[in-house]
Amino acid sequence: MAYSETIFAPSRATLDIAVLILPRASILEVASVLDPMRNANRQTRREAFRWRVVTPDGQAAPLTCGIELPASGSLGDVAGADLLVIVSGFDQAEVATRALIATLRRMAGRFGAVAGIDAGPWIMARAGLLDGHRATVHWEDLEDFAAAFPGIDVVPDRYVRSGRRLTAGGAGPAADMMLHLIGARCGLGTAGQVADSFLYDRHADGARPQRPGRVPGARDRRLSAALTMMGEALDTPLPIPEVAARLGIGVRRLEQIFRDGMGQSPAACYLDLRLQAARRMMSDTDHPLAEIALRTGFADPSSLSRAFRRRFGQAPRASRGGADPGNR
């Protein structure tokens, strides 16, 4: 039986987990990994899970919120754990040094399984740990990740189990994955108790899309459905009448739904989605302007530049960051 099946099988044995936190990770992602285990131990009244937080050098990791997270050691101190979870976010290309990648490549076989959260899959892929596997990554990086690693079957799922490799797209999917692990080892009742403790809407299916298109407070599900359609067709924008037709309503009704829920027309909202995507790419990747225009449905860089300047008050290149794919 594959090891991933072993750790996802009912057991009263303590599961030993090493959590590698890289600088500029999100505290929400860290909590999404750690707190479900802590709460599972509380619910089961035993040490179902034991974990150590480590960093590449054993020093505290600065998180995106400004807090420094203490570590109990370095990666080299936890070889042999049942599961290594890599939590990474912004600037992973910088914080995941060549030395760290080499260490991961050398040590991976000493862990029962390896998981990556948010940008963690980038690091796993660079170490060659995802070759031939199915995997996911944060939705903003899916296209770039697939292009960078053609040997990986990249899917837009919330989290993915593939042999001894696990990947999750962000904080919410990481919580889903941990609840799935808790349910598999400790029973669905325990997983439900953990989810209820956090008032978390638990979904066991990792294959759900990362971006369901939900709008907080929206009363009409058709708004979410329309936004999902738009988000999935940024490079080739759908005509608004086609969006309405797919929802089985008229254009006027769609206009009213958007004005009630978003305060703007469907066309204006669609354009904003495309421009927001363009700004993310300008800030977080080194893609040329022509490619970004193509990916966001503009006829040419000039068209994108004019719309960008009207929306954000500056030229696209003014928002160009020094980051590359995998950074948010």
**What mean pLDDT do residues 70-77 have?**
92
For 34-111, list the strands marked E by DSSP.
49-54, 61-62, 68-69, 83-88
Query: How far is residue 248's CA from residue 245's CA, in Å, rounded to a whole number?
Result: 5
**What mean pLDDT do residues 178-196 have?**
92
CATH at residue 165: 3.40.50.880
Query: How far is residue 252's CA from residue 1's CA, in Å, rounded to a whole number?
Result: 57
For residue 224, the model assigns a pLDDT of: 82
Question: Model confidence over 258-308: pLDDT tens digits?
Answer: 988 888 899 999 999 899 889 888 887 888 999 999 999 999 999 999 999
Closest C-alpha among 32, 19, 38 to residue 115: 19
Residues 149 and 61 in one domain: yes
Comparing 5-19, 133-147, 220-234, the range with the smallest average pLDDT is 220-234
Q: Residue 308 contacts by C-beta under 8 Å, 6 or more apart in sequence?
A: 275, 278, 279, 314, 315, 316
Residues 191 and 61 in one domain: yes
Residue 237 domain flag: yes
Residues 187 and 57 in one domain: yes
For residue 215, the model assigns a pLDDT of: 55
Question: Model confidence over 120-173: pLDDT tens digits?
Answer: 999 999 999 999 999 999 988 888 899 899 999 999 899 999 999 999 999 999
- Whole-structure pTM over 0.85, yes or no? no
Which structure tokens are listed for 119?
A: 């940008």
Q: Total structural domains in the chain?
A: 2
Residue 328 domain flag: no
- In order, the DSSP letters of 231-274 are HH-SSSPPPHHHHHHHHTS-HHHHHHHHHHHTSS-HHHHHHHHH
For residue 108, the model assigns a pLDDT of: 93
Beta bridge partners of 51: 17
Residue 124 domain flag: yes
> Is 55 strand, coil or helix?
strand
Closest C-alpha among 37, 10, 33, 15 to residue 188: 10
Residues 264 and 152 in one domain: no
Answer for the pair 204, 192: CB distance below 8 angstroms, yes or no.
no
Domain that holds residue 169: 3-197
CATH at residue 259: 1.10.10.60
For the chain, list the strands marked E by DSSP.
15-21, 49-54, 61-62, 68-69, 83-88, 113-118, 134-135, 153-154, 159-162, 165-168
Give 45 or 224, the one with higher predicted confidence: 45
Residues 44 and 132 in one domain: yes
Residues 252 and 192 in one domain: no
- Residue 19 is given by DSSP the state E
